[in-house]
Structure 1
Amino acid sequence: MTSRAWGRAALRLVFALALPAVLVAVWWVASAGSTNVYWPPLRTVFGAFPDVWTGERLRGDVLPSVLRLAAGYAVAAVVGVALGTVIGSRRRVRALCEPVLEFLRAVPPPVLVPVIMLFAGIGDMMKIAVIASGCVWPVLLNTVEGVRAVDPVLAETARSYGITGVARLRDVVLRSASPQIFAGLRQALSIGIILMVISEMFAASNGLGFTIVQFQRGFAIPDMWTGILLLGLLGFLLSVLFRLAERRVLGWYHGLRESGRRSP
């Protein structure tokens, strides 16, 4: 990596960390003299963090939450891309499914938690189903739009060269729609984290959502705030990992955009 590339990377890191650092500093100063039991000083929250989130609690609460999130997110990604590709490729199928999709999309996923509990019980399957039911919509709808937006000239050229079947689906349709698909996957990730917490607040014996509620009910307010901060850190880490994966998979797309910006 050249010195110029290192400089750009350092500058991006500074911009990424500047606002969080300012917000933490403001929170620290604003809460420094707080005597409100529900708004403890940030130094108290930081002091409680290592005592609360020990290795045992990370294995017993954080790991199950992450595994449920990963399972529900994976199911939503597979189902969303598969159905979105079919619906986006077939005009009649799209016309038939569009009213139903709009109706189901308008139903907030947390409302479905009691219904899903009736069919899936209160175990991990319920939580995975809740996460998948909310994450699938941005993936599906963005896939539909991405498939619909495939360049007809490109599609016709592929047909002229005899690129059909699986090869056409992989190299033409999904490749052209992949930027839109990843936009849906990015939206689904934040939705999945929210639904992970909500599902664990309803009926669970472990997990981040369950633990935060237990702290709140026991009036362990600094411990509750550490759970909220840990959720934010988890969301940030997953976002970084997603961006790295996106840059790797869509390297060709970002390269085209960069070359387009440089061209006169």
Structure 2
Amino acid sequence: MSAATTPARTGAGAAKPGGAGRTALRALQIVLLPILLIGLWWAASIASGVYYLPTPGEIAATFVEVWGSQRLADDVLPSVGRLFGGFALGTVGGVGLGIVLGLSSRIRAVLEPVLEFFRAIPPPVLVPLLMLFVGVNTTMKLAVIVSGCIWPILLNTIEGVRAVDPVLIDTCRCYGIRGRRWLTTLVLRSASPQIMAGMRQGLSIAIILMVISEMFASSSGLGYTIIQFQRTFAIPEMWSGILLLGLLGFLLSVLFGFAERKVLKWYNGVRAAARGE
């Protein structure tokens, strides 16, 4: 009996270094590509000697000088606030309208042509129109963000609601689960994987539209600051703003991924069980 259990213990002990090794390898893969790209960029900037392509060291020094000052409070924080505000409005509108359209085929048939028409209009084209009707203010910038990020959330919510298992719908009906409880327990929970997928796409679009909305007749914000650096030929400063946008997008993606894992913990558990893990 002891001889039979010895290999099992050895195998279990051997699995731990393997897991740690895989984690270390994954961390190396994540870090290796950025280091390689920075090295290539450095070599290209030194070899070319072009003023418009500063070295990463120059950009890093300029980054600390520019964004570590009052500009962080004057430009970055207002931009992030507008980003969150527009994304939140787009999420509420997209999920709310998506539930209605997903549950009612008649309403969907009536509104679908109109929605497809507005979805085909690129949001940046609406900026001059919104400037005329709303003015150059925070409302206009929020409207630009909402006009783009709402669509992936809306469409994914509709498909998620339509894909709710009919067996579960009949089960809820048999047990008398109706109204708000039926909506939150069954519909939203079943559609939540696709809703979260739409929100992830909407967040990426919201970042892009935040910058675009601030490039038109604005006096503050990341988009305004970057375009001002470009117009005054402050090239390292311009690159530092682009770098900040990239870091902001990466940070938001990581935070959203963390929230997504928390919200869809039940779903990931079901998938793992289906795979026999």
Which residue of structure 1 lines up, in the alignment, with residue 9 of structure 2?
none
CA distances 1:206-254 after superposition (whole Å, capped 9, x unpaired): 1100000110111000110000011000000000000000000110111
Give the structure 2 partner of residue 23 of structure 1: 37
Q: In structure 2, give the amino acid aligned to 1:181.
A: I
CA RMSD of aligned residues (A): 1.7
Identical columns (%): 61
Q: Return closer, same or farther for 1:85/1:157 CA change in 2, 3 Å cut-off.
A: same
Q: Which runs of 5+ in 2 are unaligned?
A: 1-14
1:259 shift after superposition: 1.8
Aligned to 2:129: 115
Structure 1: any 5+ residue segments left out of the alignment?
none
Task: Compare 210-219 and 253-262 and name the one that shifted more.
Answer: 253-262
Determine the structure 2 residue equivalent to 1:99: 113
Whichever residue aligns with residue 201 of structure 1, its letter is M
When normalised by structure 2's length, the TM-score is 0.90
Cα distance, 1:132 vs structure 2: 0.8
> Does structure 1 residue 203 correspond to structure 2 residue 217?
yes
The amino acid across from 2:238 in the alignment is: M
Indicate how the Cα distance of structure 1 residues 170 and 91 shifts in structure 2: closer, same or farther if over 3 A, else same.
Answer: same
Change (3 A) 1:194 1:23: same
* 1: CA distance, partners of 2:30 / 2:99: 35
The residue identity in structure 2 corresponding to 1:124 is: T
Tell me how far apart the structure 2 counterparts of residues 42 and 257 of structure 1 sit (CA, whole Å).
Answer: 43
Indicate which of 232, 247, 250 corresponds to 2:264. 250
State the one-letter code of the partner of 1:45: I
Indicate the structure (1 or 2) with the bigger Cα radius of gyration: 2
Aligned twin of 1:75: 89
In the other structure, the counterpart of 1:58 is 72
Query: Cα distance, 1:164 vs. partner?
Result: 0.5
| Structure 2: distance between partners of 1:97 and 1:17 | 47
Deviations 1:63-106 (A, max 9, x none): 00000000000000000000000000001011111111111111
* Aligned pairs for 1:203-222 within 5 A: 203-222=217-236
Aligned CA distance change for structure 1 residues 205 and 35 (closer, same or farther; 3 Å): same
Give the Cα–Cα distance (whole angstroms) in 2 for the partners of residues 257 and 11 of structure 1. Answer: 25
Partner Cα separation in structure 2 for residue 107 and residue 17 of structure 1: 39
Task: Determine the C-alpha separation between the residues in 2 that align with 1:16 and 1:254.
Answer: 23
**Is 2:276 the partner of 1:262?**
yes
Letter in 2 for 1:174: L
Alignment of structure 1 residues 31-42 onto 2, 5 Å: 31-42=45-56
Provide, for residues 1-54 of structure 1, a one-character-per-residue CA deviation record: whole Å limited to 9, x for no partner.
x96776665554444333323222221222223321211222221221111112
- Is contact 1:72–1:128 with CA below 8 Å preserved after alignment? yes
Aligned partner of 2:166 in structure 1 is 152
> What's the counterpart of residue 180 of structure 2?
166
2:104 paired residue number: 90
Q: Hey, what's the Cα distance between the residues in 1 that align with 2:23 and 2:89? A: 34
Match of 1:192 among 195, 198, 206: 206
